[in-house]
Structure 1
Amino acid sequence: MLGIDCPKPCKGRWPTPPFDPRFPKQNQTRNCYQNFLDYYPCVKRTNRRGKSTQPCDDYFRVFRALCPLSWVQRWTEIKDGTFAGKI
């Protein structure tokens, strides 16, 4: 899958992402981007603490549901400090 795989085996369909009051408008581009940025630090923190990454799965599901796969692929390929967000 385009550079990013499911944290667990992907089974069935995922429900529509829940309403996020930080992004009340119809355009969900910022919601997609913010959940992408929140996912990786969450995984990094939980792995460092030796805990399960299950709480981070919500971020993953939301950005996979909202973001076009081409965006996700491009964001995961950008390296060497050129990416605008901190991962």
Structure 2
Amino acid sequence: MLNVENQKPPKGKWTTPPFDPRFPNQNQTRNCYQNFLDYHRCMKAMNRRGKSTQPCEYYFRVYRSLCPISWVQRWNQQIQDGTFAGKI
């Protein structure tokens, strides 16, 4: 999937994701997880239809800025192993 270097934005390019009314609280753990799922669902749907995956980049940028890299690495490994708990 993605390695750690691809997870890091270019130096000085850290951005804050926009407000999402589904997650109004300070704890953004669910927001992180949901955007990770949305990214992979979007990629799967766009690849299946043979369309550009450009719209999926929004979800990638959001979960990349919210999620700890260690979580993303673990989830990606679980997806590869077929043990990921989320429905993609």
Task: Give your verdict on TM over 0.5.
Answer: yes
Partner Cα separation in structure 2 for residue 47 and residue 84 of structure 1: 22
Partner Cα separation in structure 2 for residue 20 and residue 27 of structure 1: 12
Query: TM-score of the superposition, structure 1-length normalised?
Result: 0.83
Query: TM-score of the superposition, structure 2-length normalised?
Result: 0.82
Partner Cα separation in structure 1 for residue 19 and residue 76 of structure 2: 25
Correspondence for 1:85: 86
Q: Which runs of 4+ in 1 moved over 6 A?
A: none
Correspondence for 2:34: 34
Q: Which AA in structure 1 matches 2:46?
A: T
Partner Cα separation in structure 1 for residue 77 and residue 36 of structure 2: 13
Tell me whether 1:43 sits opposite 2:43 in the alignment.
Answer: yes
Partner Cα separation in structure 1 for residue 18 and residue 6 of structure 2: 22
Post-superposition Cα deviations, 1:12-57, rounded to whole Å, max 9, x if no partner, equal: 6142100000000000000000000110110111112121111111
Gaps of 5+ in 2: none
Larger % of helix: which? 2
